Amino acid sequence: MIAIGAVIGGVTNFLAIKMLFRPHEPKFIGSVRVPFTPGLIPKRRNELASSLGKTVVKHLLTPEGMRKRLLDDQVTLHITHFVQREVQAMLRSEKTVQELLEPLYPNAEERIITLADEKLRAELSSAMAEVKERKLYEMLGEEGMDRVRALIPEIVDALLVKSEEYFYSTEGEAQLRHMVDSFVQRRLGFIAGFIQNMNFVEMVRPEIVNILRGQSTRDGMTTMITREFERFSERTVDTLVDERLELKLIDGITDQVVSRLPIGQLLNRPLSSYTQSVESRVVDELVPQGVTVVIERFTSEMETIMDRLKIDKIVQEQVQSLDTSYLEEIVLSISKREFRAITWLGALLGGMIGLIQGLIAIL
C-alpha cells in the first residue's frame, strides 16, 4: 500500500505539473472537447500575458526605479564616456560636410542655394513693401537730408563748370552758332545778309560764361535745386519705383548676393577643419553638461515617458508572441528542481498515506 500510494502521489503531481503546459492545443473526441485541454498556461495565456505586463510595470520597471538607476553616478559616467567617444570621432572626421549631409540631406549645395535665393527674395519683397509706403525724407532721415542739402552747392558748381566747358567745346560752339544764326534770321530778316560775316558766337559766348560764373546764378540754381529737392523728398518711394524696377532690383540684389555665397567651398571642407579649435571644449565641457541636462530632463519626465511607451503592452505582446513550447522550456529551466521536488513530495505524501492506510487495515 505504501508503494501504491507513493506511485499515485508522484504520478498525480507529475501529471498536474505537465497539465500546466500540456497539451498545447485543445483535444476533441468527436465534437466534444476533452476536459482540461489545452493546459492551464496555454488556456490562460492572454490573461497571463496581461497580468505579467501589469506586474512588470507596477513592481519591476517602475518610474522611480528607472529614475534612480539613470541618476546613478556610474551610469551617468558610462553614458558620458560613450557620448564623448562618439562626438570626438565625429569631430575628427575627415569626411566633408557634404558627405556627412548627403544621407540626410541629398544635393545639399543646390538645395541650400535654392533656399537662400527664395528666402532672400521673400525678405527683399517684404522689405520693399514696407519701404515703398514711406516718404523719401523718412528714408534719408534728418542727417541724410542735411547731407544732400550740403552737396547741392557742389552739384551746382559742377554743373556750371561742365556748362562752361560745353560752350567752349566743338559741339557746344556748333550748337551756339546754330542758335545765334536762327535768332538773327528770325529777328533781323533781310538785314541778316549784311551782317552774316560777323562772329556773333564770340560776342555771345563770353556773356554766357560771365552769367554762368556769376554768384547770383550759383545762388539761384542752388535755391531752385534745394526747393525741388525738398518737394521731391515729400514723395513716397512707391511713386519712384514701379513694379518692373522693383523686380529688377530684387533680382539684381539676390543674384549678386547668392552668387557670392561660398556654399560649395564650405560644404567641401572636412568637418575636422571646423571643429579642431573647439574639440576639447565640446568634448570635455559641453558633452558632460549636455548629458547631465538630458538625463535630468529625461528622468523628470519618466512617468510620462513610460506611460507613452506602454511597457505593459510591450510585455503582453511579447509573451503572446512566444511559442508555448518555448514558454514551457523557460519555466522548466527556472523551476525544474522545484517541479521535481513537488513530484517527489507527492510520492512521499502518497507513501505516507499508504502507510497510514496499511496500519489502519492491520489494526
Q: What is the pLDDT of residues 150-195, one digit of tens each?
A: 999 999 999 988 988 888 888 888 887 777 777 666 655 555 454 4
Q: What is the CA radius of gyration of the chain?
A: 51
Check residue 190 and give left, alpha or beta (phi > 0: left; psi -120 to 50: alpha).
alpha
Q: How many CB atoms lie within 10 A of CB 89?
A: 9
Residues whose CB is less than 8 angstroms from the CB of residue 4 and which lie 6 or more positions away in sequence, other chains included: 354
Spatial separation of the C-alpha atoms in residues 86 and 71, rounded to whole Å:
21
**Per-residue pLDDT at 13:** 82
In DSSP notation, 220-250 reads: HHHHHHHHHHHHHTTSBGGGT--HHHHHHHH
**Per-residue pLDDT at 316:** 78
Q: How many CB atoms lie within 10 A of CB 244?
A: 8
Spatial separation of the C-alpha atoms in residues 25 and 38, rounded to whole Å:
5
The string of pLDDT tens digits covering residues 9-53 is 888 888 887 777 777 677 778 777 777 777 777 777 777 778 877
Q: Which three cell numbers stand for residue 235?
A: 514723395
End-to-end CA distance of the chain: 15
Instruction: Please state the φ and ψ torsions of residue 28, each to the nearest 5 degrees.
Output: -125, 145
**Per-residue pLDDT at 189:** 55
> CB of 324 within 8 A of CB of 48?
no
The model's pTM: 0.50
**Per-residue pLDDT at 28:** 77
Preceding omega of 106 cis (within 30 degrees of 0): no
In DSSP notation, 198-213 reads: S-HHHHHHHHHHHHHH
* The residue to which cell 550748337 is assigned: 175
**Per-residue pLDDT at 223:** 92
Q: Which three cell numbers stand for residue 113?
A: 542655394
> CB of 38 within 8 A of CB of 327?
no
> CB of 17 within 8 A of CB of 342?
yes
pLDDT (tens, 9 = 90+) of the chain, 363 residues, equals 888 888 888 888 888 877 777 776 777 787 777 777 777 777 777 777 788 778 877 777 788 888 888 888 898 899 999 999 999 888 888 888 888 888 888 888 889 999 999 999 999 988 888 888 888 888 888 888 889 889 999 999 999 889 888 888 888 888 877 777 776 666 555 554 544 544 666 777 788 888 888 888 889 999 999 999 888 888 888 887 888 888 898 899 999 998 888 888 888 888 888 888 888 888 899 999 999 999 888 888 888 888 887 888 888 787 777 777 777 777 777 677 777 888 888 888 888 888 888 888 887
Instruction: Characterize 32-53 residue by residue with b for buried, 16 or more Cβ atoms within 10 angstroms of its Cβ, and e for exposed.
Output: eeeeebbbebbeebeebbbebb
